[in-house]
Amino acid sequence: MKLVIGLGNPGRRYQQTRHNVGFVVAAEVAKIAGGDSPKVRFSGEFAEGSIAGTRVGVLCPTTYMNASGQSVRKAVDFYKLDPADILVVCDDLNLPLGRLRIRPSGSAGGQKGLADIIRHLGTEAVPRLRVGIDPAPPGWAVPDYVLSKFKPGEQNTIDDAIGRAAIAAADWAEHGVDYCMNRYNGSPTTQ
């Protein structure tokens, strides 16, 4: 089994914010996997389907971003998964809007949900798919920026990135991280 984890914050207040890009990508991956409707499991919303004959779980922790590791640990323990069999999808304010970056491991790079997952799993060898949301503009506090909604002029770019990220996550489940790095780690126009 492969597990795709979308990071975000639960509740209406956080819907469509920059920090919830992971939730939106995960919902698209669940559609591609064509499985069951999400159920409350592992302190999150969990759905299961398949991609190219591989069982794929999709988990959106409802523990709030900074405590995502609790939910992920429960699912990893239940299915006895190696960290290499999970893909964390999250926002990244260090990447330009719409840019994707897939890596097999590394630091959290300031992403607190990813940092909590790394802490709970005890390893940085956790594949991740980052979706660029642009750096905070001058005068903006980072927490306020990541919890803001996309501007109308940004919506087409982020919608396209979400679609590409969902396909990238499906490709990860079928072909692995190296394939996805080669295919999706360029500028949006080459992806």
Question: Could you give the domains of the chain?
Answer: 2-190 (3.40.50.1470)
What pLDDT does 45 receive?
A: 97
What pLDDT does 36 receive?
A: 83
What pLDDT does 5 receive?
A: 98
Active site residues: 19
Residue with tokens 């990447």: 95
Question: Per residue of the chain (191 residues), what is the pLDDT tens digit?
Answer: 999 999 999 999 999 999 999 999 999 999 999 988 999 999 999 999 999 999 999 999 999 999 999 999 999 999 999 999 999 999 999 999 999 999 999 999 999 999 999 999 999 999 999 999 999 999 999 999 999 999 999 999 999 999 999 999 999 999 999 999 999 997 665 54
The pTM is what? 0.95
What pLDDT does 11 receive?
A: 94
Q: Are 82 and 26 a contacting pair, CB within 8 Å?
A: no
